[in-house]
Amino acid sequence: MKVGIINVTGYIGVELARLLCRHPHVELTCVTGRSAAGQKLGDVFPHLASIDLTIQAELDSVDLAFSALPHKSSAEAVRPLVEAGVPVLDTSADFRLSAPDYKAWYGLDHPCPQYLSQAVYGLTELHRKEIAASKLIAVPGCYPTSAILALAPAMHHGLIEPDIIVDSKSGVSGAGRTLDLGTHYSEVNESVSAYSLEGHRHLPEITRELHKVRPSGPAPAVTFLPHLVPMTRGILSSCYAKLKPNALPSGKAAIAALRELYQDFYRGEPFVRVTAAPPQTKHTWGNNLCLIYPTVDVRAGRLVVVSCIDNLVKGGAGQAVQDMNLMCGFPETTGLDAPAIFP
Amino acid sequence: MKVGIINVTGYIGVELARLLCRHPHVELTCVTGRSAAGQKLGDVFPHLASIDLTIQAELDSVDLAFSALPHKSSAEAVRPLVEAGVPVLDTSADFRLSAPDYKAWYGLDHPCPQYLSQAVYGLTELHRKEIAASKLIAVPGCYPTSAILALAPAMHHGLIEPDIIVDSKSGVSGAGRTLDLGTHYSEVNESVSAYSLEGHRHLPEITRELHKVRPSGPAPAVTFLPHLVPMTRGILSSCYAKLKPNALPSGKAAIAALRELYQDFYRGEPFVRVTAAPPQTKHTWGNNLCLIYPTVDVRAGRLVVVSCIDNLVKGGAGQAVQDMNLMCGFPETTGLDAPAIFP
Amino acid sequence: MKVGIINVTGYIGVELARLLCRHPHVELTCVTGRSAAGQKLGDVFPHLASIDLTIQAELDSVDLAFSALPHKSSAEAVRPLVEAGVPVLDTSADFRLSAPDYKAWYGLDHPCPQYLSQAVYGLTELHRKEIAASKLIAVPGCYPTSAILALAPAMHHGLIEPDIIVDSKSGVSGAGRTLDLGTHYSEVNESVSAYSLEGHRHLPEITRELHKVRPSGPAPAVTFLPHLVPMTRGILSSCYAKLKPNALPSGKAAIAALRELYQDFYRGEPFVRVTAAPPQTKHTWGNNLCLIYPTVDVRAGRLVVVSCIDNLVKGGAGQAVQDMNLMCGFPETTGLDAPAIFP
Amino acid sequence: MKVGIINVTGYIGVELARLLCRHPHVELTCVTGRSAAGQKLGDVFPHLASIDLTIQAELDSVDLAFSALPHKSSAEAVRPLVEAGVPVLDTSADFRLSAPDYKAWYGLDHPCPQYLSQAVYGLTELHRKEIAASKLIAVPGCYPTSAILALAPAMHHGLIEPDIIVDSKSGVSGAGRTLDLGTHYSEVNESVSAYSLEGHRHLPEITRELHKVRPSGPAPAVTFLPHLVPMTRGILSSCYAKLKPNALPSGKAAIAALRELYQDFYRGEPFVRVTAAPPQTKHTWGNNLCLIYPTVDVRAGRLVVVSCIDNLVKGGAGQAVQDMNLMCGFPETTGLDAPAIFP
């Protein structure tokens, strides 16, 4: 099966290339990137020199396509593919939100709202069946992946009050490859900062998906605050919510009971691991795992869940490949089973 | 005035030496450190080679002493000084808590509980007068300094519900100079992790001091979660609490009103700055400032405050010097006015 | 084929486990480590949780063994295996040097000098045939791998005077997992330093192997200076030597001619790439490549070669697996063909 | 005395501001920067918020000016000041080289070659008297400062052959604040690379100044190779040259003899310290020291000298202030005596 990557020249694009070039059931036959068109992929990205492809301006005919373009450009680029019935996995925000939400958060009229109803939100663990049946996947954002997976079991069991706080810490690669003073080495190295305090674009995905987990409950009121930390890869999300009265046994027993609920919820999931000790982002470096550590602040009666992912893998390219595996009927872990690289 | 540092060989100890050696009104005459006794200070710490002192096993006679020993050892070491009437600034936890709280959180009977009533909690901005009148200062922990200063104005004005979350991100120097796999370079570099999920020892200070700001209100229920981030210095604390109904004007006006309350609260404070944009820890590297950015998540009706300090300066040695200035009647900023080093 | 790792708990050990667990022709059946004996491998190293092994005190029966013990302990541990005819790849220094050199550089009488003559130096590109025929491999040190591969073509063609300088910059993982102030995060972060200025133990390997490349020439006089740089993985070696008169065409033509000699020398090598632009260590993160950029300082008439490897892969575990592939008759790249992870 | 900074918005510019704002004998009255003109200095650089200045488009009248503009723009900007007799310290390359060398290395005709003869090379330790008598200082580059100070004593005493290698490792701030993929966080973090292999612009300064130290000897043939390492500040230069026969006692005695020569050479220098142990760049973070460790590779008969500076202080802004102190008759260490910040 021939697959292509639209806009290979960003960090999600190269990560897709890295994963797809070793996938046993697909052949990466085409990569595009306007700024680097005509150059060998390995000249622009030496770590991909084993892939013998020239970056093209436009996509050749393929059986399935990934888009790693920014929002708006992505919808415009994949529209003809969607129309032609080519399966598409879009890692941009373009097919994640309803048209009104898209307008509200991205300040744009959606370029092709008629296709939104076909799109499936590609958070594999929550939408496995719809993904398998779809030809247009909106691959989730990196922050939502870490937050939703951390909170879904608690939401599902109705353990928590709707007031939720998600405090996320991300490596700098999440900000992409476009030059900016905010990602200039000397400005971000040895520093932590919060950003998007007025509201980050990943918030509506988080809120909607958490509500979907338990649609009978009230819509959660999520405060989501992202932070930039001086490392290249990884997201750690710390999630907080008040436990409902009697939702769990009292005292320390609550922790064990919670842990069991989480383990049951994710039993059999190849890429979610409920850990016995608080995880480090480093334990996911380069692989598709989401590590989740749920606990209870017994003094305050509060749920605390910490989750870790590699923002470019489970938070982007890896999840896209996981979704492709489902769409194509491949075993879900195909091409994604290499352990993280540590240290 | 002759001053000495007990246990100069940790990071708070050397930071005290760095600040005191240039203080115009005191003379650093003695530094101790058992493991390095007999060595020149500049041989152990080359950046302090301009200080011509030999590390001693025991403290000489001084007019005022700083202790940078770990808890328990510190109380034992400063007891004779306290008895002799020598003013002491203790950067350990030994004089921060009541005897029962100390027992509960540190698992030890307090070595000299009879002196606890003399001790003043050295968070300068909240206890200026008591500090000036005291001879025994419990210098606050680094996390509490960042959290309490971030939340004190909101507490003071009764803006928030008692459910409070403090999510702190700290550089690795906060873990000290003692060898540990958790601070081994290859283990922590390029990684973020949460720790002390079962409750961190800095929690009782935070809770008590926030309550003291508005003793008429209920005791806050604080969930405090510290995180280790891959950088040497700095703490950023993100603090969250639900706003009380009608505590602030509705909509975006809440943000401006909040900001004004914070500016008024800290007006004239030389080391607290309410910033117009979200701060970075890097903006405090090496100096005694606490930068605070208060805002409101208007959608969720929630207070969000971000604060930054250098954990070794305002979070330790700098605040100790600030307290000493008060105790000695020096202008409060003496020896502490160098700008941060950026980038 | 059953393989085992002696002392899995260091960084070379876990890297061997990471590579071997996905190798299609071997089965990792046993890992040892005294300090962690009895614990699940995945509990000590969460990134290896997919490997279902318990760390043992002693090695079970295996068909081939890797030792990742420190020197001296390693020779002692593998001696019974060697005696029993089990193929062994030793990543320590124990079988790299002659007994007198070992005594001179490690200050010890060799524990089993009788086996030194059987040992083959496992720098694959220079000793492929001997490795394939051997049952005891001394896997080269990380620095020698980068230095020897960088200089071998120039030595082979007799291009350079015997005065050679190798200036190497290494990530901190090269110093291992043992706690030390020199690898304590806050001490090494944001700092570069040189070490072993009195002579590093990897020097005799470098000198001997370079001489072996052209035994008819004089023994080179190598000055080798290692540096610690604040990153986890990677070695970049910058190598300098005066060009012999007329060894290359004059002027800029020398550069192209040199490059061609290097490309010819390494033609067909799967893990050595002569690059068109100066490489970054990051381009080898996690994989087995050695990237080499040879050039000429035309003004000074000097050869300058820059090489990059991942110190834990081509500089350790990866090269060991490459050697194993040769010994077992597997294709040389088996289990080693994943691209580097970038960024 | 009123002083001004032309182009405060780069890293040398802000570092000048940081140092000058606390200098007891000058008043910083004006800072310029076209891109940020009209903004408060503290809004653009929060760490300088204590300096109450607005960034201007053009310089006001001052008694002495620093230029932190790039080359070419700098000469153009300072020309009217030079003509008006205002003392100028230029941190760009514009007054460092002769007009032909400038043309050769910077590819430009010099904008005002008529002033080159007035300019003094501001490497304080080697040109103290000329600096004190001059009104136009060419502040040296960061690399040349570290290399020349490391080698000057050996040159002075005629210890070494003219073949010299300088292998320098620099933090990323040396590349400035202009956006570039080569200083984009995710591209440089966790990576080391060599650059300017075809010849770096700082080479001619190094060669000329080393020759000047011993003009009777041959011009040295210097190979200078700069490397980028993942940290913000600091340069470590490792310098190598063959010792002349009998230049030093044989064996280990050479090391002690060399050390004594170096100590004598720099006796009384406030900012050069010949260290007893190999230095780290971190020991100079934020201050004006150059730490030098000279030794001999006894096996190879080679001089090895390691030097460390903070590239923005002794390698730029600090040395400029040191030169200003000389020009104005202030004690040379005025405003420069704060210890480095460690860790």
Q: What is the pLDDT of residues A230-259, one digit of tens each?
A: 999 999 999 999 999 999 999 999 999 999
Same domain, yes or no: C285 and C149: yes
Asked whether residue A77 falls in the same domain as residue A165, the answer is no
- Asked if residue D271 is part of any domain, the answer here is yes
CA separation for the pair B305, B297 (Å, rounded):
10
The candidate with the shortest Cα–Cα distance to A171, out of A234, A238, A224, is A234
Residue by residue, what is the 3-state secondary structure of A60-107? CCCCEEEECCCCCHHHHHHHHHHHCCCCEEECCCCCCCCHHHHHHHHC
Would you put residue C85 in left (φ > 0), alpha (ψ -120 to 50) or beta?
left
Question: Percent of chain A scored above 70 by pLDDT?
Answer: 100
**Domains held by chain A: number:** 2
Instruction: Let me know whether A282 and A164 are in one domain.
Output: yes
- The alpha carbon of residue B114 and the mean position of all alpha carbons in its chain are separated, in whole angstroms, by 24
Question: Which residues fall within 8 angstroms of residue A25, CB to CB, at 6 or more apart?
Answer: A1, A328, A330, A334, A335
The mean per-residue pLDDT over the stretch A208-223 comes to 97
SS (H, E, C) chain B: CEEEEECCCCHHHHHHHHHHCCCCCCEEEEEECHHHCCCEHHHHCHHHCCCCCECECCCCCCCEEEECCCCCHHHHHHHHHHHCCCCEEECCCCCCCCHHHHHHHHCCCCCCHHHHHHCEECCHHHHHHHHHCCCEEECCCHHHHHHHHHHHHHHHCCCEEEEEEEEEEECHHHHCCCCCHHHEHHHHCCCCEECCCCCCCCHHHHHHHHHHHCCCCCCCEEEEEEEECCCCCCEEEEEEEEECCCCCCCCCHHHHHHHHHHHHHCCCCCCEEECCCCCEHHHHCCCCCEEEEEEEECCCCEEEEEEEECCCHHHHHHHHHHHHHHHHCCCCCCCCCCCCCCC
CATH number of domain containing C79 = 3.40.50.720
Q: Do A160 and A113 lie in a common domain?
A: no
Cα nearest neighbour of A242 on chain B: B163
- Domain residues for the domain of D65 are 2-118
Task: Note whether A190 contacts D: Cβ–Cβ < 8 A.
Answer: yes
B311 touches C: beta carbon within 8 Å: no
d(CA D323, CA C277): 39
A51: tokens are: 């892939």
End-to-end CA distance of chain B: 35
Query: To 5 degrees, how large is the angle CA A201–CA A117–CA A151?
Result: 45
Query: What angle is formed at CA D175 by the lines to CA D173 and CA D180, rounded to 5 degrees?
Result: 110
For the record, the structure tokens of B242 come out as 């639900």
In this prediction, residue C156 carries a pLDDT of: 98
Look at residue D108 in the predicted model and tell me its pLDDT.
95
The pLDDT, as a whole number, for residue C333 is 98
For C256-297, the three-class secondary structure string (H helix, E strand, C coil) is HHHHHHHHHHCCCCCCEEECCCCCEHHHHCCCCCEEEEEEEE
Does residue C196 fall inside a structural domain? yes
Q: What is the least distance, in Å, from the CA of D13 to any CA of chain A?
A: 15
Q: Are strands D302-309 and D235-243 parallel, antiparallel or unpaired?
A: antiparallel
Model pTM greater than 0.95? yes
Contact C64, C39 (CB under 8 A): no
In this complex, is the C-beta atom of C191 within 8 Å of any C-beta atom belonging to chain B? Answer: no
A288 domain-assigned: yes
- Counting Cβ atoms within 10 Å, is residue A178 exposed (0-12), middle (13-18) or buried (19+)? exposed
CB-side neighbour CA atoms (13 Å) of D209: 28
User: For residue A183, what pLDDT band results from cuts at 50, 70 and 90?
Assistant: very high
Backbone conformation region of residue A246, classed left if phi is above 0, alpha if psi is from -120 to 50, else beta: left
Calculate mean pLDDT across residues A149-172: 98
Distance (Å) from the C-alpha of residue A205 to the closest C-alpha of chain B? 15
Contacts of A160 in chain B (CB under 8 A): none
C316 close to C91: Cβ distance less than 8 angstroms? yes
pLDDT band at D163 (very low <50, low <70, confident <90, very high): very high
pLDDT at C329: 98
pLDDT at D186: 98
Based on its alpha-carbon atoms, the radius of gyration of chain B, rounded to whole angstroms, reads 20
Tokens of A147: 């937050």
Side by side, the strands of the sheet bearing A302-309 are A193-194, A221-228, A160-170, A235-243, A302-309, A290-297, A272-274
Size of interface A-D (CB pairs under 8 A): 55
- Share of residues in chain A with pLDDT > 90 (%): 100
For residue C119, name the pLDDT band (cuts at 50, 70, 90): very high
A202 touches chain C (CB under 8 A): no
Would you say residue C68 lies in a domain? yes
CA distances (Å), origin B36, targets B6, B10, B50, D199:
12, 11, 18, 46
3-class state of residue D143 by DSSP: helix
- Same-domain check for residues D114 and D162: no
Q: Is the same domain home to D297 and D161?
A: yes
Contact C170, C234 (CB under 8 A): yes
Average pLDDT of span B310-315: 98
B contacts of A302 (beta carbons < 8 Å)? 163, 165, 221, 223
**CB-neighbour burial class of residue C337 (10 A; exposed 0-12, middle 13-18, buried 19+):** middle
Asked if the structure places residue A267 within a domain, the reply is yes
Structure letter (DSSP) for residue D133: T
pLDDT in tens, B168-212: 999 999 999 999 999 999 999 999 999 999 999 999 999 999 999
Identify whether D278 is part of a domain. Answer: yes
- Whether A142 is a known active-site residue: answer yes
Same domain, D56 and D162: no
Tell me what the mean pLDDT of segment A131-151 comes to: 98
Measured between CB atoms, does B221 come within 8 Å of chain A?
Answer: yes
One domain, residues B152 and B295 = yes
D60 burial level (CB within 10 Å; 0-12, 13-18, 19+)? exposed
What average pLDDT does range B53-67 have in this prediction? 98
Average pLDDT, chain C: 97
Q: What is the rounded CA–CA span in Å between residue A214 and residue A212?
A: 5
SS (HEC) of chain A: CEEEEECCCCHHHHHHHHHHCCCCCCEEEEEECHHHCCCEHHHHCHHHCCCCCECECCCCCCCEEEECCCCCHHHHHHHHHHHCCCCEEECCCCCCCCHHHHHHHHCCCCCCHHHHHHCEECCHHHHHHHHHCCCEEECCCHHHHHHHHHHHHHHHCCCEEEEEEEEEEECHHHHCCCCCHHHEHHHHCCCCEECCCCCCCCHHHHHHHHHHHCCCCCCCEEEEEEEECCCCCCEEEEEEEEECCCCCCCCCHHHHHHHHHHHHHCCCCCCEEECCCCCEHHHHCCCCCEEEEEEEECCCCEEEEEEEECCCHHHHHHHHHHHHHHHHCCCCCCCCCCCCCCC
Same domain, B148 and B102: no
Q: Do D177 and A184 touch (CB under 8 A)?
A: yes
* CA B223/CA A165 separation, integer angstroms: 12
Give a yes or no: residue C321 inside a domain.
Answer: no
Q: What is the DSSP letter of D281?
A: G
Catalytic residue among D21, D30, D112, D142: D142
Residues 24-83 of A with CB under 8 A from C: 43, 45-51
Catalytic residue from among C30, C142, C290, C308: C142
In-domain check, residue B329: no
Mean pLDDT calculated for residue range A109-124:
97
Residue A36 and residue A166 in one domain: no
SS3 category, C175: helix
Residue A93: the pLDDT is: 97
- The owner of tokens 């400035």 is D176
Contact criterion met (CB below 8 Å) for C90 and C103: no
Q: How many residues does chain C have?
A: 343
Find the CATH number of the domain harbouring C243: 3.30.360.10
Distance CA A297, CA B222 (A): 9
Are D222 and D289 within one domain?
A: yes
With CB atoms and an 8 Å threshold, state whether A240 touches B233: no
The residues that bridge with D305 in the sheet, in sequence order, are D239, D294
- For B45, the closest chain C residue by CA position comes to C187
Regarding whether C272 and C218 lie in a shared domain, the answer is: yes
The predicted complex's ipTM stands at 0.97
Last residue of a domain, one of B118, B151, B183: B118
Mean pLDDT of D305-332: 98
* Type of residue numbered B98: S
* Contact between residue D6 and residue D65 where contact means Cβ atoms under 8 Å apart: yes
Give the mean model confidence (pLDDT) for residues B92-103: 98
Amino acid letter for position D73? S
Predicted local confidence at residue C123, as pLDDT: 98
Q: In chain D, pLDDT over 90 holds for what percent of residues?
A: 99
Partner chains of C (3+ C-beta pairs under 8 Å): A, B, D
Burial class from Cβ neighbours inside 10 Å (0-12, 13-18, 19+) for residue A133 reads exposed
Instruction: Decide: B5 and B68 in contact? Cβ < 8 Å.
Output: yes
Predicted local distance difference test score (pLDDT) of residue C130: 98
3-class SS at D302?
A: strand
Q: List B293's β-bridge partners, or say none.
A: B306
Nearest by CB: D172 against A185, A230, A231 = A185
Q: Are A315 and A161 in contact (CB under 8 A)?
A: no
